Structure 1
Amino acid sequence: MKKLASLLVLTAVFVVSGFATDVPTPYKIGDKATDFRLKSVDGKMYSMADYKDAKGFIVVFTCNHCPFAVKYEDRINDLSKKYKSKGYILLAINPNDPALEPTDSYELMKVRAKEKGFAFPYLFDDGQKIYPQYGATKTPHVFLLDKNQIVKYIGAIDDNVDSAADVKEKYLENAIAALESGRTPSPETTKAIGCSIKAKK
């Protein structure tokens, strides 16, 4: 009887372990990010491998509908323009399931990108395969990677959602400046403020 009980316990452990491995571990500072290949609003596929001379990547999980993401749209656009010339490529990814949030459909992403004149690839995480790998939980949620795709900063763009004019701490820009000077960003992580990602349970 004891042997049977032990066998059942071991079986349960293996089953639970098997399920646990299906859930990606969110990236931490120092992890190497996996590249992706996602469709943008221009109909083309994009990946980090396309940018051989990049000094780093700004991966922003964002979307159409979230009020927080909307408040950051212009700032994200400005960041893309400012840092592209410095070698940092901004790639924005919509992680939401349009079945749960219809305003985040690929077709409406194209409309929004045109309305706002997005200067960056606005990518659709079809099947929601990429955001869990990164561990993104909000829109917007930022991951700064160096040229080797090593995660250097995770969190918010800055410290003021409501007003770009009243920002006191530009977390993302300060982290890029640190990389440029060979320093470690400080802080390396901040709390992302935004809407939860819409995914099927």
Structure 2
Amino acid sequence: MITKNNKMKICLLISMVLCLGMNFQSGGYQIGDAVGNFRLKNTDGNMVSLGDYSNVKGVIVIFTSNHCPFARAYEDRIIALNSKFASQGFPVIAINPSDPGTHQDDTFEKMKERSSSKNYGYPYLVDDSQQVAKMFGVGRTPQVYVLQKVGAKFTVRYMGMIDDNPQDPGGVTKLYVDEAVSNLAGGKPVVTTITKPVGCAIKWKN
């Protein structure tokens, strides 16, 4: 039989677990934060860092993966974002934080094959240690961070979904990333700054 005292202990334990969960989810960069530099290996074998992007207005950082159906559904839309906005000073940087030990489709060789076959046109970086994903506070793939270059720093202006319809590109009604970058490129503030990402949960390495 559960006593009143035990009930209180159980409720407290549940509250602590929930708080820990909320703290974990709220970790990483928030809107207005300056992003630290990172350096990761690209599928062409070269190392790419955020610091390499000195002559841009900003970047569209997209955490994605090969195995995730949501990421695959967005692949052509990511390519289209780069085609549209790279020339306006906002290129795409794609980062794969997925553990290939859990998903074989996310090995570096598979990443190279995918980037080559789809002719991405932007870096596809491997986050082997998952430290960059943790630095950003990423929870799912795909998950986007639109960064604006302010002086020498990159500042978070948008984070979340690419648009509001992962399954059907033809059914999209809200182009979150497109609108955010268009506003920044036009010297206007971002209206919708945060949305909840929908995709595959990242499996963290021990």
TM over 0.5: yes
Counterpart residue number, 1:196: 201
Counterpart residue number, 1:108: 110
- The whole-number CA distance in structure 1 between the counterparts of 2:90 and 2:116 is 23
Paired residues in the alignment total 179
Q: After TM superposition, which residue ranges in structure 1, 4 or more long, deviate above 2 angstroms? A: 180-184
- The whole-number CA distance in structure 2 between the counterparts of 1:37 and 1:197 is 20
Further displaced range: 120-129 or 159-168? 159-168
Give the one of 122, 141, 144 matched to 1:142.
144
C-alpha deviations, 1:135-173, integer Å up to 9, x for none? 111100000000131000000000111121221110001
Counterpart residue number, 2:128: 126
Give the one of 18, 35, 38 matched to 1:36.
38
Counterpart residue number, 1:14: none
One-letter amino acid of the counterpart of residue 163, structure 2: D
Shift of 1:184: 2.4
What is the correspondence of 1:1-201 to structure 2 with a 5 Å cutoff?
A: 25-147=27-149, 148-201=153-206
- The whole-number CA distance in structure 2 between the counterparts of 1:89 and 1:192 is 20
Unaligned runs of 5+ in 2: 1-23
Percent of pairs with identical residues: 44
Unaligned runs of 5+ in 1: 1-22
SS of the residue 1:153 aligns to: strand
TM-score normalised to the size of structure 2?
A: 0.83
C-alpha deviations, 1:5-51, integer Å up to 9, x for none? xxxxxxxxxxxxxxxxxx89311000011111100110011112112
- The whole-number CA distance in structure 1 between the counterparts of 2:69 and 2:27 is 28
- The whole-number CA distance in structure 2 between the counterparts of 1:80 and 1:180 is 14
